[in-house]
């Protein structure tokens, strides 16, 4: 595996900037691969690893860079739990290691570099140098992957009886003799609201409460 510095450069390019979260993500993924004995996750070992991540922040991009796991490859699984944590699974033998960032690492960074006023810069320097045991907790866990969760799984493709859109990987429900996509089966849980009958020219913006810069 590449060095920490080399992986941080790759992470910076992929994410657009380098920050404390990126460093945590790179180190977390390096530790996970090391403990599983996966030395070349983006090369000869690329089909061995599946990773569950629990937060949609900077660390997630960094973990993807180190492991080579991607949503598009079905090797990166997202659980929106808001935790700086990830679980690394070796498909070769089924071992799984969950690693979480310690809350105490922030206080430790302040202890190590009290003279650095900028919190991000302070943590960036400390997180490069702190030993793994000060940054993370490690726990061997059991993860049951259903057949449809594996990267190479190919299931039937069906169409929703309500909206007509195609559905892959068994992401549908059977109800009252109909095949329904998740959006049509549970309209109240959709992340979007159809603006049926409204001209796009009359809808200047379709994202509410957007805080994008």
**Considering the domain boundaries, does residue 10 fall inside one?**
yes
Task: Answer yes or no: do 15 and 119 share one domain.
Answer: yes
Task: Answer yes or no: do 104 and 128 share one domain.
Answer: yes
Q: 């109909």: which residue's tokens?
A: 178
Res 154 pLDDT > 90: no
- Say if CB 122 and CB 128 are below 8 A apart: no
- Say if CB 172 and CB 186 are below 8 A apart: no
Residue of 23, 79, 27 lying closest to 50 (CA atoms):
79
Task: Answer yes or no: do 140 and 182 share one domain.
Answer: no
Structure tokens at 65: 């860079």
Domain residues for the domain of 39 are: 4-147
**Considering the domain boundaries, does residue 107 fall inside one?**
yes
Q: What is the pLDDT of residue 197?
A: 59
Task: Answer yes or no: do 186 and 138 share one domain.
Answer: no
**Considering the domain boundaries, does residue 152 fall inside one?**
no
Number of CB atoms found within 10 A of residue 195's CB: 11
Q: What is the pLDDT of residue 153?
A: 67
CATH number at residue 138: 3.30.1330.130
**Considering the domain boundaries, does residue 213 fall inside one?**
no
Question: If DSSP codes are grouped into helix, strand and coil, which group holds residue 140?
Answer: strand
The domain boundary, picked from 101, 121, 147, lies at 147
Task: Answer yes or no: do 91 and 185 share one domain.
Answer: no
Task: Answer yes or no: do 182 and 99 share one domain.
Answer: no
Burial of 33 (0-12, 13-18, 19+ CB in 10 A): buried
What letters, b where the CB count within 10 A reaches 16 and e where it falls short, cover 124-155? Answer: bbbbeebeeeebbeeeeeebebeeeeebeeee
Answer with the residue of higher pLDDT: 107 or 211: 107
What value does the mean pLDDT of the chain take?
89
Q: What is the pLDDT of residue 193?
A: 85
What's the whole-model pTM score? 0.81
Which residues, listed in sequence order, are joined to residue 13 by a DSSP beta bridge?
A: none
Distance CA 167, CA 184 (A): 12
**Considering the domain boundaries, does residue 78 fall inside one?**
yes
**Considering the domain boundaries, does residue 186 fall inside one?**
yes
Task: Answer yes or no: do 96 and 119 share one domain.
Answer: yes
Task: Answer yes or no: do 116 and 166 share one domain.
Answer: no
Task: Answer yes or no: do 87 and 11 share one domain.
Answer: yes
The domain total for the chain is: 2
Structure tokens at 144: 């049951």
Task: Answer yes or no: do 163 and 118 share one domain.
Answer: no
**Considering the domain boundaries, does residue 210 fall inside one?**
no
pLDDT tens readout for residues 89-107:
999 999 999 999 999 999 9
In Å, what is the CA distance from 147 to each residue of 25, 121, 150?
Answer: 28, 43, 6
Task: Answer yes or no: do 127 and 171 share one domain.
Answer: no
Q: What is the pLDDT of residue 212?
A: 41
**Considering the domain boundaries, does residue 153 fall inside one?**
no
Which residues, listed in sequence order, are joined to residue 53 by a DSSP beta bridge?
A: 78, 86
Distance CA 111, CA 61 (A): 28
The domain boundary, picked from 128, 147, 166, lies at 147
Task: Answer yes or no: do 143 and 171 share one domain.
Answer: no
């Amino acid at each position: 595996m590449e060095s920490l510095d080399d992986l941080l450069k790759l992470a910076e390019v992929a994410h657009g900037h380098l920050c404390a979260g990126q460093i945590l993500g790179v180190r977390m993924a390096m530790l996970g691969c090391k403990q599983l004995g996966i030395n070349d996750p983006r090369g000869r070992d690329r089909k061995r690893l599946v990773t569950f991540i629990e937060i949609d922040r900077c660390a997630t991009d960094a973990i993807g860079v180190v492991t080579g796991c991607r949503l598009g490859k079905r090797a990166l699984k997202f659980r929106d739990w808001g935790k700086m944590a990830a679980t690394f699974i070796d498909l070769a033998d089924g071992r799984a290691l969950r690693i979480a960032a310690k809350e105490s690492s922030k206080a430790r960074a302040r202890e190590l570099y009290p003279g650095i006023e900028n919190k991000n810069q302070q943590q960036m320097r400390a997180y490069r140098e702190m030993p793994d045991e000060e940054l993370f907790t490690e726990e061997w866990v059991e993860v049951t992957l259903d057949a449809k969760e594996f990267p190479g799984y190919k299931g039937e493709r069906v169409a929703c009886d309500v909206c007509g859109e195609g559905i892959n990987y068994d992401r549908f429900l059977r109800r009252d003799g109909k095949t329904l996509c998740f959006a049509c089966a549970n309209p109240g849980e959709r992340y979007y609201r159809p603006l049926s009958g409204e001209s796009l020219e009359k809808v200047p913006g379709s994202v509410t409460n957007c805080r994008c810069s």
